[in-house]
């Protein structure tokens, strides 16, 4: 009998390299790479410099040129829902309305009783410190009155012969006092919140709050699986990338130019160092020091700065050429004919502008890594990032969606971690202070007012209601809280 052919059994699959089968899973390494201490320190320094720089600009900016509370959100509404409305007129009307409300508050609290003088002060939003101090003084008067009522009730309770009735009367007096204090605090909080909504914000503060809200909206959209609906992930991303910057540049152009220069310089130095550390860690599985990374980014600072700027410069230059060509329409008789005959050149220019904008928006996040990995210049970074966007657009879109979803989940985890950290710290530090309204510790909730909004960890301090020592304590605590939540 002839030998039967030997059949080789199939080899057993012992393991699957998921990163080779599904390359997009490499994105899931980004969180582990990002939480490296050196990158966190550099990122924190960058955020601090941007925040401090923005606040300094706000402090020097004229009050009439500051943003209204919610102005960026209002711009979004007008842009999307009422494109024909004149936003400048709306801003002026909003300023007038806020000034009238502020003047009314000055008169209501008798800081400036005279209507004419109150209106004059409201034009520049003067006397804010006096107004806050007056509101806090009214709170103290209410608390003093409640204390007198409590003391009288306690004195009457002492006359009771029945021990049980005496204890009940004392408890009722103390509970009434605590309720009166809570009501006074609630009233002050309401007044101060109203005041904050009247006074124009700094341009940076308004821009920062708006952009943070868009990031939070992206996270909420991912969790609700609302990607393309109105107000979902797509709209929030467009608001973050286009609406917010367009509002700042369109309504506060000089401020936007100065802040953009600051942003580019800070991000070139610290962002370049972060990407260099990440590139070496991912490519070679090695670690470099912060000093080495900063030395690299400083040497390449011009490349990092100009990589995102050069495409925009190209767009502006092409746009200016087209605009100059449009002047041909002013030439009598022959001008419109010549301009119309050459109009195809304007269309070609529009195609080029569109391609450059698509490449810039899609490939901007690849420019810094290109310089960090290759050590190349701005033009090489632009070339490589544009090539990837146009050669593999669907892969780029898919990777972007995966990165947004994964980034939303990790952001939610970090936000939850920070929120629990701050909440537990506040709870235990004030554990023995909550039931002592007459002690200095009672003011801990004024020194560190916890935010009741999960999506907004920063808080506002009412320095007018604090003693100088408590104000210093509030500043130091807010410094550490902002550092830990940054």
Q: Is the model more confident about 157 or about 442?
A: 157
| Cα 102 to Cα 119: distance, rounded to the nearest angstrom | 8
Q: What is the mean pLDDT of residues 368-379?
A: 87
pLDDT at 1: 47
| pLDDT confidence of residue 434 | 58
| pLDDT band, residue 314 (cuts 50/70/90) | very high
DSSP for 238-267, written as a single string: HIIIIIHHHHHHHHSHHHHHHHHHHHHHHI
Query: For 26-30, 145-149, 228-232, 277-281, which range has the lowest pLDDT when averaged over its residues?
Result: 26-30
371 contacts: CB under 8 Å, gap ≥ 6: 272, 275, 300, 303, 304, 307, 377, 378, 380, 381
Kindly give, in sequence order, each residue whose CB lies less than 8 Å from that of residue 289, ignoring residues fewer than 6 positions away.
38
How many Å apart are CA 73 and CA 59, to the nearest integer? Answer: 22
Q: What share of the chain is helix, strand, coil (3-state, %, to 5)?
A: 80, 0, 20
In angstroms, the CA 373 to CA 280 distance is 7
Least confident of 170-184, 340-354, 386-400, 442-456: 442-456
Predicted local distance difference test score (pLDDT) of residue 260:
92
pLDDT for 315: 94
Give, in order, the Cα–Cα distances in Å from 353 to each of 39, 360, 366. Answer: 35, 10, 20
d(CA 367, CA 308): 8
Q: Which residue has the higher pLDDT, 465 or 254?
A: 254
Q: What pLDDT does 439 receive?
A: 43
SS3 201: strand
Q: What's the number of CA atoms in the CB half-sphere (13 Å) around residue 173?
A: 19
Q: What is the pLDDT of residues 95-115, one digit of tens each?
A: 788 888 888 988 988 888 888
Share of the chain above pLDDT 70, in %: 88
């Amino acid at each position: 009998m002839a030998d039967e052919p030997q059949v080789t059994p199939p080899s057993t699959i012992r393991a699957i390299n998921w990163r080779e089968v599904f390359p997009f899973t490499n994105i899931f390494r980004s969180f582990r790479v990002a939480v490296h201490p050196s990158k966190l320190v550099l990122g924190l320094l960058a955020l601090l410099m941007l925040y401090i720089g923005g606040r300094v600009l706000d402090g020097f900016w004229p009050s009439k040129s500051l943003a209204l509370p919610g102005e960026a959100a209002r711009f979004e509404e007008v842009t999307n829902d009422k494109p024909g409305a004149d936003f400048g007129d709306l801003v002026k009307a909003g300023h007038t309305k806020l000034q009238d409300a502020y003047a009314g508050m000055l008169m209501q609290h008798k800081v400036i009783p005279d209507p004419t003088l109150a209106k004059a002060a409201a034009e520049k939003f003067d006397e804010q410190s006096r107004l806050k101090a007056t509101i806090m003084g009214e709170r103290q008067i209410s608390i003093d009155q409640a204390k007198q009522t409590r003391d009288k009730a306690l004195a009457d309770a002492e006359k009771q012969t029945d021990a049980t009735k005496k204890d009940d009367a004392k408890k009722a007096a103390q509970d009434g006092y605590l309720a009166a204090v809570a009501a006074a605090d609630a009233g002050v909080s309401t007044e101060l919140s109203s005041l904050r909504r009247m006074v124009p914000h700094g341009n940076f503060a308004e821009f920062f709050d708006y952009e943070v809200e868009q990031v939070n909206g992206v996270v909420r959209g991912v969790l609700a699986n609302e990607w393309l609906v109105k107000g979902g992930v797509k709209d929030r991303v467009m608001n973050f990338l286009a609406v917010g910057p367009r509002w700042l540049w369109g309504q506060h152009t000089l401020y936007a130019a100065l802040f953009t220069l600051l942003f580019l310089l800070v991000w070139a130095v610290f962002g370049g160092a972060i990407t260099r550390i990440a590139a070496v860690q991912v490519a070679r599985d090695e670690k470099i020091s912060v000093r080495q990374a900063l030395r690299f980014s400083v040497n390449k600072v011009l490349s990092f700065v100009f990589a995102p700027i050069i495409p925009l410069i190209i767009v502006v230059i092409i746009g200016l050429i087209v605009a100059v060509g449009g002047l041909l329409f002013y030439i009598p008789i022959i001008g419109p004919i010549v301009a119309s005959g050459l109009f195809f050149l304007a269309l070609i220019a529009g195609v080029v502008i569109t391609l450059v904008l698509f490449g810039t928006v899609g490939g901007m996040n690849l420019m810094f890594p290109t310089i960090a990995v290759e050590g190349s210049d701005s033009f090489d970074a632009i070339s490589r990032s544009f090539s990837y966007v146009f050669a593999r657009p669907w892969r780029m879109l898919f990777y972007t969606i995966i990165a947004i979803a994964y980034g939303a989940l990790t952001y939610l985890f970090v936000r939850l971690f920070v929120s629990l950290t701050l909440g537990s710290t506040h709870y235990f530090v004030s554990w023995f202070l909550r039931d002592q309204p007459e002690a200095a510790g009672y003011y801990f909730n004024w020194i560190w007012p916890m935010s009741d909004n999960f999506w907004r960890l920063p808080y506002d301090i009412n320095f007018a209601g604090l003693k100088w020592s408590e104000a210093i304590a509030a500043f130091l605590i807010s410094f550490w809280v902002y550092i830990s939540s940054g």
